[in-house]
Amino acid sequence: MRQARRQRIWLTAVAVAASVTGLAAPAAAQVERARTLALDPEQQRFVETPPPPPGTSAGDLHAIRVLLAGKEHGAAVKAARRFEKQWGTADPCYPALLIARAEAQLGRGEYEKAYDELQKFLNQFSGIDLTAEALRLEFVIAETYLGGKKRKVWGMRIFSGEDVALRILDEISTNHPDSDFAPLAIKTKADYLARIGDYDLAELDYARLARQYPTGRYHQVAVRRTAESALASYGGLEFDGAPLIEAEERYRDYALIYPAAAEVEGVATILSGVAEQRAAKEFAIGQYYERTEHLGSAIYYYRLVTQQWPETLAAGRARVRLELLGAEPAPAARPMEPPAPMGGAE
């Protein structure tokens, strides 16, 4: 981590120098001008140290990073190619070279090549300090594709990158669950699925986020959006009412865990709306049985509505139907027996 921190500080220093002196200067002059900042533990301040000497693998890597800081991505890719040819893959700087080359390819819009480079790094060197930087760059690729960037095939960007983006996010969350990017990857995928209307899958990912990271920064939003996704997945009276039951449970969990937020966000009102929809769903089932002359089943569902959701609009309508059918409302506190099968005696 200390190495990664020094690298970030160095890149910032180079960027500042470039903004002051201009980017038209030759790369060699930029290398000479750039310096590395490192924290001196005794002085408790950052001090300048000269860059690695030219003619070494560390010096060549330093030169590539200077090119990246100057946005000279094409030159950086060529320099990385020369580095690998001269120093080989066994050089201690080779893992950092993979990251630098991937960053250069991203700067050139070569997302497929950058992803391949990062996968090569993660497959061979995952666990070292630069892993977090590799995951960050992969996350950038995923977000770019989810933002609408097309994949390049046969030299043309004609295919959606959604599948690659979702695979990247799954790889980050599955293979690196302890990284800071894992919960963010799950949330990003769930947010995207909800945005395109795939609420069933979004609910699963939000629930996974809440379950795997109960103390994480996204727990509250995950619990809330799990409930929202469940409710949004309900298709209406003609569809299965299971999403309503799921949504009700999720919202009650949210109100239990985050009562203050639930009060501000009007969760009680949302639950009332869910109750209205559940009652309307069961009332519609009762109407179906009444139309098909299965009156015993119709009475059962009308009574269920008046018992379970007595304050709803559907309960008022159910009471009217029970009266017209000559049936008594169900006792409020007594569980009701299910109706007989449609093929049996009513």
Q: What is the pLDDT of residues 274-330, one digit of tens each?
A: 999 999 999 999 999 999 999 999 999 999 999 999 999 999 999 999 999 999 877
Number of Cβ atoms within 10 Å of the Cβ of 88: 10
Q: Which residue is associated with the tokens 């594709």?
A: 145
Q: How many helices (H) and strands (E) does the chain have?
A: 16, 4
pLDDT of 102 strictly over 50: yes
pLDDT of 19 strictly over 70: no
In a domain, 338, yes or no: yes
CB 98 within 8 A of CB 63: no
pLDDT at position 22 is: 38
Percentage with pLDDT > 90 across the chain: 73
Q: In degrees, to the nearest 5, what angle opens at C-alpha 108 toward C-alphas 102 and 112?
A: 55
Q: 274-306 in b/e burial notation, b at 16+ Cβ within 10 A?
A: bbbbbbbbbbbbbbebbeeebbebbbbbbbbbb
- Indicate the pLDDT class of residue 259, thresholds 50, 70 and 90: very high
Please name which of 196, 269, 183 lies closest in space to residue 232, comparing C-alpha atoms.
Answer: 196
SS3 19: helix
pLDDT at position 28 is: 46
Please name which of 276, 199, 293 lies closest in space to residue 237, comparing C-alpha atoms.
Answer: 276
In a domain, 209, yes or no: no
Comparing 104-108, 203-207, 259-263, 325-329, which segment has the lowest mean pLDDT?
Answer: 325-329
Query: Which position has the higher pLDDT, 142 or 45?
Result: 142
Comparing 6-20, 169-183, 200-214, which segment has the lowest mean pLDDT?
Answer: 6-20
Boundary-marking domain end, from 108, 127, 145? 108
Domain that holds residue 294: 282-346
pLDDT at position 339 is: 64
- Rounded CA-CA distance 223/139 in Å is 23
Question: Strand 150-153 relative to strand 45-49: parallel, antiparallel, unpaired?
Answer: unpaired
Mean pLDDT of 101-126: 95
User: Which tens digit of pLDDT belongs to each residue from 231-252?
Assistant: 999 999 989 999 999 999 999 9
The pTM of the full predicted model, rounded to 2 decimals, is: 0.80
Q: Per the structure block, which two tokens stand in for 137?
A: 């760059």
pLDDT of 270 strictly over 80: yes
CB 201 within 8 A of CB 174: no
pLDDT of 6 strictly over 60: no
In a domain, 64, yes or no: yes
In a domain, 136, yes or no: no
pLDDT at position 126 is: 84
Q: What is the CA radius of gyration of the chain?
A: 31
Number of Cβ atoms within 10 Å of the Cβ of 160: 14
DSSP H helices, 196-340, are: 199-212, 219-232, 242-257, 259-264, 267-291, 295-308, 313-324
DSSP, res 258: S
User: Which tens digit of pLDDT belongs to each residue from 195-234?
Assistant: 999 999 999 999 999 999 999 999 999 999 999 999 999 9
pLDDT of 2 strictly over 80: no
SS3 53: coil
Q: Per the structure block, which two tokens stand in for 230?
A: 């469940």
Domain count, the chain: 2
Boundary-marking domain end, from 108, 127, 152? 108
Number of Cβ atoms within 10 Å of the Cβ of 242: 11
pLDDT at position 88 is: 96
- Indicate the pLDDT class of residue 332, thresholds 50, 70 and 90: low
Boundary-marking domain end, from 64, 89, 108? 108
In a domain, 314, yes or no: yes
pLDDT at position 243 is: 96
In a domain, 7, yes or no: yes
pLDDT at position 51 is: 82
- Rounded CA-CA distance 224/300 in Å is 34
In a domain, 41, yes or no: yes
pLDDT at position 150 is: 82
DSSP, res 22: -
- Rounded CA-CA distance 346/343 in Å is 9
In a domain, 58, yes or no: yes
Q: Per the structure block, which two tokens stand in for 79?
A: 């320099």
User: Which tens digit of pLDDT belongs to each residue from 23-70?
Assistant: 334 444 444 444 466 666 777 777 777 788 889 999 999 999 999 999
Q: Which residue is associated with the tokens 């090119």?
A: 67
Residue 342, C-beta contacts closer than 8 angstroms, at least 6 positions apart: 292, 294, 297
Number of Cβ atoms within 10 Å of the Cβ of 54: 13
Query: Which position has the higher pLDDT, 159 or 269?
Result: 269
Percentage with pLDDT > 70 across the chain: 81
pLDDT at position 101 is: 97
